[in-house]
Structure 1
C-alpha cells in the first residue's frame, strides 16, 4: 500500500490547527458530533489557514444528509467519516458529493465482520476503532489480533488508543490493507489541543 498515511483527528483550535498544518500529515479530522469533547462549532472556520495538501475530514455520528452536505460546503471537506449506524445507501448518497467516505466501526472480540460486505462498494476506507459508548476518542486500544478476521480488500485506518509507545508496533502490522494511522487523544494536552512536539516524534518514529 506504500507509505502509511497519518490522520490527526479532533482538531478545534485555530492556532493549534495552524501549527499542525506545518507537519507532513495527510488527513485532519474535525468532529461535528455535539456530544464530543472535541466538537467543532461554526466559529472555527479555516478560511485563513493554508492546509496545503492535508485532506479535511468531517466526523459525524448519525447526522442528516443535509447537515453533512452543508458542512462539506462550509468547511470544504475532502472526506466524511461516519461513526453511527449509517446505511450503505447513505454512504452511497454522500459518495456522489465527490468526496472520500470513511466508515468507522467499533471493534471488540464479538464484532460481526460480515456486516462490512454490504459497505465495501460504497466506501473508500473503513476505520477500525475501539468499541465504546462514545463513538471514539476513548484512548483505549483494542486487540489488533482481531484484525485477522477481516477478509475484505477495502483499505482501512487503524484508530483507538494509539500512543507514542505503541505507534511503531501499529506501523509494523503485516497487512497491506492498512492505509493509515488515526491519532487523537493520546497526543493531546487537553481535549482538542494537540501536542505538536509529540506528533513530530511519532512521525519520526514511523518514517
Structure 2
C-alpha cells in the first residue's frame, strides 16, 4: 500500500526568486548545498528563505564545527551528509540535537552492512546512484536493489528522478512504506540551481493524484 504521507524534497536551491516560486508548491523539504565543487553551491544566505518548509543543508566531508555554524546561520532544520563521513562524525552531530540524513551511493554490489554503524545516529538514509563524484548524477540506480534493504530506518530516494519515472517511484512505494520521501533535483531544472516550476508542479500533480487514488 502506498505511503500516503510520502514526502517531497526539492534539492539544489540557491536563487531567491526561484526559492520563493518553489515555496508556493507543497514541498516538504528544501535542500541547500554547501559543497563548493557543486554547481548548486550556496556561497551566501539567499535573500529569501522559506519559513514553512524544512530546510536541509547538504554537506560533503565538512568538519563538525562548520556544519553547526552553517545550521545556525541559515536556520536549517536538517543536515544531509553526502560524503564519506564516519559514524563518529554523525554521532557528534547527532549529539548537538541535529536531525541527520546520511546519503549512500547504491549499485548492485552495495553491501547493506555498511549502514549498520550509522543506524543509532541517523534519522533517515538517502539512497542515490553510486558515482566517483559527490553529488547527483541525474541517473537512476536499479531500484530492485532496495528490495533487499534489511533495516527499518526510513529513506529518501534520489538519483535521476524525473517526470518520466515519478509514477514508477510511487508504484515502488506501494510495496515499501520505509520509502519516506522523493528527492527531486537536476531533472527538474532549466539550469543548475534553477528549478522549472511547471515541471515540479506536474510532478506534484502525479503524486497527489496517486495518493488520492490509493485511499
| TM-score of the superposed pair, with normalisation by structure 2 | 0.92
Aligned residues: 204
Residue 202 (structure 1) aligns with: 203
Equivalent residue number for residue 24 of structure 1 = 26
Q: Is the contact between residue 107 and residue 131 of structure 1 (CA under 8 Å) also seen in structure 2? A: yes
User: Which residue of structure 1 aligns with residue 146 of structure 2?
Assistant: 147
Aligned to 1:184: 185
TM-score by length of 1: 0.95
Q: Is the 8 A contact 2:15 2:46 kept in 1?
A: no
Aligned with residue 15 of structure 1, among 11, 14, 17: 17
Query: Alpha-carbon deviation of 1:172?
Result: 1.8
1:36 to 38, 61, 69: 38
Does the Cα contact within 8 Å between 1:12 and 1:193 map onto a contact in 2?
Answer: yes
Per-residue deviation at 1:135? 1.8
**Aligned partners of 1:171, 1:70: CA distance in 2, in Å?**
36
**1:43-82 paired onto structure 2 within 5 Å:** 44-46=45-47, 48-49=48-49, 51-82=50-81
Greater fraction helix:
2
Aligned pairs for 1:111-190 within 5 A: 111-173=110-172, 174-190=175-191
Using the TM superposition, give the Cα deviation of residue 40 of structure 1 relative to its aligned residue in structure 2, in angstroms: 0.5
Matched-pair contact (CA < 8 Å) for 2:14–2:46 = no
In the TM superposition, residue 91 of structure 1 has moved relative to its aligned partner by 1.0
Q: Secondary structure at the match of 2:113?
A: helix
CA distance 1:122–1:138, shift in 2 (3 Å): same
Task: Give, in whole Å, the separation in 2 of the partners of 1:148 and 1:137.
Answer: 22
Residues 59-84 of structure 1 deviation map (CA, whole Å, 9 limit, x = unaligned): 00000111101100110110000011
Over 2 Å off, 4+ runs = 96-99
Q: How big is the shift at 1:113?
A: 0.8
| Equivalent-residue separation in structure 1 for 2:171 and 2:134 (angstroms) | 26
SS in 2 for 1:24: coil
Would the aligned equivalents of 1:136 and 1:160 in 2 still touch at CA under 8 Å? no
Unaligned runs of 5+ in 1: none
How many angstroms apart in 2 are the aligned matches of 1:171 and 1:97?
A: 34
